[in-house]
């Protein structure tokens, strides 16, 4: 049977007007060849610096922006290249939770209307009574009191707004939930509650989750597998524990080394080589391996040839000289 979500060599390029004269249009390679598979009940964490293409990847998977090349299939059905009308039945099966919970909710609608809206659009066959029943059921499940149903978004805290966002996404009972930095705007204690809620809901609903975040600790908590993205390309993908214990790509290693250890004695003793410099522009990516200008292990071949993702242990790594288990 095909995996729940299968992404193959996905590319999303944007044509931008050029500057100077004569102006030549430029190409922004936001996503530049990413592939993976995800099964029901599993979470793939996606990490990388700001601007590396994580959110564009999520939107292309959901069919919200067109792919330039490559394919996305949901349980064997194509998402890429579909007309809007034909995407509609698939939309119910793929939902998204956004980063800024308050900004993603319509301030003129009540809590009940906000959660019922996707049902109206994607499950028009349901009558009013059944819609109301489903809205109340998911409210209860995500921890929203039934007495709040006629309140407006501004009356809720950030954590409560994110619970509304989750209820709105899950009320249509999707197979895939894409979480795009869902806890970045929340306090640490609220972050933990939301992450625990998502993990519980995943178990109950057998959801596949794509969890995008820049906080490596949060990704470690929630993910089964982790994909590290650099400049729109997959640097490394592997089981969470193996990747955090012994990353094989120098960029993954540098990302993990950039997270300070809470214990100052361990922090002083460890031989960390945190990330140096800024990521290059996706408008003008470096030749060969895009990470080579920042990589302490770069050699001439790295500047000349782009390393394809190759199987290594239980994961895949795009590097000419991957790190060993004990590096
Ligand atoms: Fe570093 Fe070369 Fe590997 Fe790129 S291919 S990460 S430059 S060692």
CA 7 to centroid of ligand 1, rounded, Å: 24
Residue nearest to ligand 1 atom 3, measured at CA: 319
Residues with CB under 6 A from ligand 1: 250, 289, 291-292, 295, 297-298, 302, 307, 319-321
**Domain boundary assignment for the chain:** 1-15+27-40+47-83+225-316
DSSP letter for each residue of 238-265? EEHHHHHHS--SHHHHHHHHTSPPSSHH
Closest atom of ligand 1 to 307 CA is 5
Closest atom of ligand 1 to 296 CA is 1
Of 252, 255, 291, best ligand 1 pocket probe by most atoms within 8 Å of the beta carbon: 291
Closest atom of ligand 1 to 249 CA is 6
Torsional class of 138: left (φ above 0), alpha (ψ -120 to 50), beta (otherwise) = alpha
pLDDT for 89 equals 85
CATH (one of 3.40.47.10, 3.40.50.300, 3.90.1150.150, 3.40.50.1460) for 1-15+27-40+47-83+225-316: 3.40.50.300
pLDDT in tens, 101-159: 778 789 999 999 999 999 999 999 999 999 999 999 999 999 999 999 999 999 999 99
Closest atom of ligand 1 to 289 CA is 4
Give SS3 for 127: coil
- Do residues 30 and 38 lie in contact, with contact meaning Cβ atoms separated by under 8 Å? no
| 268 — pLDDT class (breaks 50, 70, 90) | low
Is 0.85 surpassed by the pTM of this model? Answer: yes
CA 50 to centroid of ligand 1, rounded, Å: 20
Vertex 274, ends 300 and 226: CA angle to 5°?
A: 85
pLDDT in tens, 184-223: 888 888 999 999 999 999 999 999 999 999 889 999 999 9
């Amino acid at each position: 049977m095909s995996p729940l979500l299968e992404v193959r060599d996905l590319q999303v390029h944007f044509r931008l007007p050029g500057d100077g004269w004569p102006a030549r249009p430029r190409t922004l390679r936001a996503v530049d060849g990413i592939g993976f598979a995800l099964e029901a009940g599993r979470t793939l964490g996606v990490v990388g610096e700001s601007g590396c293409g994580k959110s564009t990847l999520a939107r292309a998977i959901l069919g919200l922006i067109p792919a330039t090349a490559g394919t996305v299939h949901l349980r064997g059905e194509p998402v890429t290249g579909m007309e809007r009308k034909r995407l509609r039945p698939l939309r119910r099966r793929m939902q998204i939770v956004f980063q800024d919970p308050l900004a993603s909710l319509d301030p003129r609608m009540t809590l009940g209307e906000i959660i019922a809206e996707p049902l109206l659009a994607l499950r028009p066959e349901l009558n009013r009574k059944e819609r109301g029943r489903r809205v109340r059921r998911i409210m209860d499940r995500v921890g929203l009191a039934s007495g709040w149903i006629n309140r407006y978004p501004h009356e809720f805290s950030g954590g409560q707004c994110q619970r509304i966002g989750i209820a709105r996404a899950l009320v249509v009972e999707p197979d895939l939930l894409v979480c795009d930095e869902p806890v970045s705007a929340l306090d640490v204690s609220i972050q933990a509650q939301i992450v625990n809620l998502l993990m519980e809901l995943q178990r109950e609903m057998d959801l596949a989750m794509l969890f995008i975040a820049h906080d490596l600790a949060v990704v470690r908590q929630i993910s089964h597998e982790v994909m590290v993205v650099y400049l729109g390309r997959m640097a490394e993908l592997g089981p969470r524990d193996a990747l955090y214990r012994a990353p094989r790509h120098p960029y993954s290693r540098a990302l993990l080394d950039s997270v300070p250890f809470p214990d100052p004695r361990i922090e002083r003793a460890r031989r960390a080589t945190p990330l140096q410099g800024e990521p290059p522009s996706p408008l003008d990516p470096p030749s060969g391996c895009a990470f080579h200008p920042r990589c302490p292990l770069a050699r001439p071949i790295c500047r000349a040839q782009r390393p394809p993702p190759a199987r290594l242990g239980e994961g895949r790594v795009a590097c000419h000289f991957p790190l060993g288990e004990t590096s």
